[in-house]
Amino acid sequence: MSVYITSTGAFLPGPPVGNDEMEEILGLVNGKKSRLKRRILKANGIVTRHYAIDKDHNTLYSASDMAVKAAERCLEQSTLSSSQVKMLSCATTQGDMVIPGFGSMVQAGLGIPEVELHTTHGVCTCSSMAIKAAYNNIRVGDQPNALVVVSELASRLFKNTHYEAAGGAAAVNFDAEFLRWMLSDGAGSLLLEDQPRGQCLRIDWIRSYSHADAYPVCMGIGATTDPNDTRTWQDFPTYGEAEANGALLIRQDIRLLETIVKIGVDGTLKLIEDGLLDTDKLDHLLCHYSSHHFKSRIYELLDMAGARVDEEKWYSNLYTRGNTGAASILIMLDEFLSTDRAKPGDTIICMVPESGRFNVAYIHLTVVEEGNE
Amino acid sequence: MSEPVVLDRPDVLTDLGQETLRRLIRVWFDFERRLARVPIIRRLDLGQFNLQDYQNLLLNLRPQVVEGARWIARGASSFDRDYADVRSVIIGHAKDEHRDYEVLEADYVTSGGDLQTLQTQPRNPGSEALHCFLMYRAGQPNPVDLLGAMWIIEGLGEKMANDWAKRMEELIDGSKAFTRFLRYHGDNDDSHMDKLYGLVDRVCTDEGAADRIVRTAKVVARLYAMQLEEIEHA
């Protein structure tokens, strides 16, 4: 059975925030301006993003609030009402509650009765796996439709007060500060159905290749800065001590980060070798690169391997919508479809490399028209 | 005598040359993941690498570095007149590196190691397997698959040596005094890699040759990682 993405929706909280306004909202650590901000922003190329918190650090929208708003926008443009949704497949890196699963909060917010519920948890690729679970559920005939909802609220992690509690300037090295100028907030949603409606997207296949067996953690929260300390945050007597030891700061191991390019290219070459992908026939590449720097690296390596995807086929809204982690690829797809670039018969690949502990996911789509497939 | 091959990275590859390069790139990525699992490299990635690790690394690398020049020189002598252009490139390469073990020895001594210990260190089981495989392949007529071996060994220099050296310096004492061997390869192996790219089209003359190049790259990658794994048991 074929499965189609028949509607999409996105929600970005508040007005766009420019590079000069970021620190005003996130706060000055120990009253001092960041010395790394400019350098990191120059590399990632992001010009505006959105935050769900204000400069007084009030949360204006929770992660589940944003999820609900994105899902409502998706459903508004579909022929279904929320009560007709049969499966709800949600993903987030970090919801509002630690327990229960994020999907439960989103279901409650949307008021969908008796839905089949699924939550994935991880980093950027967990949304692709939420889509895959929904896709397979429809494909085997268990459900006629599934709503995928992904939301990220990273800005709460970046309040100056968290860095101060972890030791202030001493705690804010490059690895700890890096993501502060990378990640922002937003939510996206897709409706999957067992039949096409109007011009929509057929899902051809979804694959992912994880390499956590080979590499150490590259991005995470929960461990201390001391590589010889194996404790994670719940191993401390109190959460206050965990925070003071830096175990609640989100950190990126910059030295390992370049690996993300290699796993992204390696997965693409594997798909070519396996006969699933032909880059010559591809019309659009939606790549969730976290930083403009990585785009050129991926492009160069694919070119060297004889699998170049021409510049004009690349699409990303990273620069204006920011890096919203797992939600990025849905927010990107939603905006891409609104540009009318996609024509019937076009093929699209969504590529999502993840640096958490190195995973990469791919979604291959074909633009189809109802009654004309 | 044939003209030497063009040494620049080629813009155009034949279909078979391009396919072989793509396969070699995947062998390389797999090799990097294999290396990342090796205990001594994992310690380096996690910032737990110390002077003892560094000395053990040099101790276990030296036998292969000493032998390295020999298999390249032997390989060069196995190319007949139809491959005289390839032989020129390989001879040049052998000349560049046939005494680089002396730099490694000096690094070991500067780091506080004893020269006698270094020079009498036998090959570990991984080095033994790597050495024997390379000498065997290098003795075959027109051993074009050595390109696969060089892809891995020169690739290490080009892609890893400088990063490793920098990290080791940070973790040990911030000094560059005893990482000259790694730095040399980090600084020079990119020109060696350019020569390799120049050879891809030349030696990928049929599917059989392409398969042998990829197979040799895979075997060398496996045995090189084994050489580093065996440091734990040396």
Is B5 or A83 the better-scoring residue by pLDDT? A83
The helix or strand, by DSSP H or E, that contains position A191, with its residue range, turns out to be strand A186-193
Residues A240 and A167 grouped into a single domain: no
pLDDT score, position B157? 85
pLDDT score, position A103? 98
CB < 8 Å from B in window 205-234 of A: 211, 213-216, 227-228
Exposure string for A175-211, b = 16+ CB within 10 A, e = fewer? bbbbbbbbbbbbbbbbbbbbebbebbbbbbebbbbbb
Q: Domain B15-233 belongs to what architecture?
A: Up-down Bundle (1.20)
CB < 8 Å from A in window 32-91 of B: 32-34, 36-37, 42, 45-48
User: Cβ of A108: how many Cβ atoms within 10 Å?
Assistant: 11
For B208, residues 6+ apart whose C-beta sits below 8 A from its C-beta are none
- Asked if A204 and A366 count as a contact pair (C-beta separation under 8 A), the reply is yes
- pLDDT for B52-61, tens place per residue? 999 999 999 9
Q: For strand A314-315 and strand A284-287, is the pairing parallel, antiparallel, or unpaired? A: parallel
The answer to whether A214 contacts B34, with C-beta atoms less than 8 Å apart, is yes
Please give the residue of chain A at the shortest CA–CA distance from B26. Answer: A266
Residues A23 and A172 grouped into a single domain: yes
- Asked if B43 and A280 count as a contact pair (C-beta separation under 8 A), the reply is no
Residues A159 and A12 grouped into a single domain: yes
Residues A204 and A345 grouped into a single domain: yes
- pLDDT for B127-182, tens place per residue? 999 999 999 999 999 999 999 999 999 899 888 888 999 999 999 987 888 999 99
| Residue of A227, A255, A305 with shortest CB distance to B22 | A305
Q: How far is A367 from chain B (nearest CA, A)?
A: 29
- Asked if A318 and A68 count as a contact pair (C-beta separation under 8 A), the reply is no
Residues A68 and A103 grouped into a single domain: yes
Residues A326 and A274 grouped into a single domain: yes
B11, with CB counted inside 10 A (0-12, 13-18, 19+), is: exposed
Please give the residue of chain B at the shortest CA–CA distance from A261. Answer: B29
Residues A227 and A128 grouped into a single domain: no
- Asked if B79 and B88 count as a contact pair (C-beta separation under 8 A), the reply is no
Give which of A360, A344, A221, A238 is closest to A289, Cα–Cα.
A360
- Which chain A residues have a beta carbon less than 8 Å from that of B13? 306
pLDDT score, position B53? 97
pLDDT score, position B4? 38
DSSP state of B99: T
Q: In this structure, what token pair is assigned to residue A104?
A: 């439960």
Give which of A67, A62, A65 is closest to A91, Cα–Cα.
A67
pLDDT band at B201 (very low <50, low <70, confident <90, very high): confident
CATH number assigned to the domain comprising residue A212: 3.40.47.10
CA–CA separation, B127 vs B223, rounded Å? Answer: 7
Longest CA–CA span in chain B (Å) reads 53
Q: In this structure, what token pair is assigned to residue B31?
A: 């090799």
Residues A306 and A246 grouped into a single domain: no
Domain count, chain A: 3
In degrees rounded to 5, what are phi and psi of residue A277? -130, 135
Give which of A208, A226, A216, A206 is closest to A255, Cα–Cα.
A216
Q: Under DSSP, is residue A178 helix (H, G, I), strand (E, B) or coil?
A: helix
pLDDT score, position B11? 58
Q: What is the ipTM of this complex?
A: 0.90
pLDDT band at B12 (very low <50, low <70, confident <90, very high): low
Query: In this model, does residue B2 exceed pLDDT 70?
Result: no
Please give the distance of CA B89 from its chain centroid, rounded to a whole number: 16
Residues A205 and A223 grouped into a single domain: no
pLDDT score, position B176? 86
Domain ranges of chain B: 15-233
Residues A243 and A343 grouped into a single domain: no
Please give the residue of chain A at the shortest CA–CA distance from B24. Answer: A305
Which range marks the domain in which residue A49 is found?
4-193
Q: How far is B9 from chain A (nearest CA, A)?
A: 10
Averages of pLDDT over runs of 10 residues in chain A (373 residues) are 97 98 97 94 96 98 98 97 97 96 98 97 97 98 98 98 89 90 98 97 98 96 89 97 94 93 97 96 96 91 93 96 98 97 97 97 97 81
What is the interface size between A and B, counted as CB pairs within 8 Å? 51
- pLDDT for B28-53, tens place per residue? 999 999 999 999 999 999 999 999 99
Query: In this model, does residue B76 exceed pLDDT 60?
Result: yes
| Residue of B26, B37, B47 with shortest CB distance to A269 | B26
Residues A206 and A95 grouped into a single domain: no
Residues A29 and A58 grouped into a single domain: yes
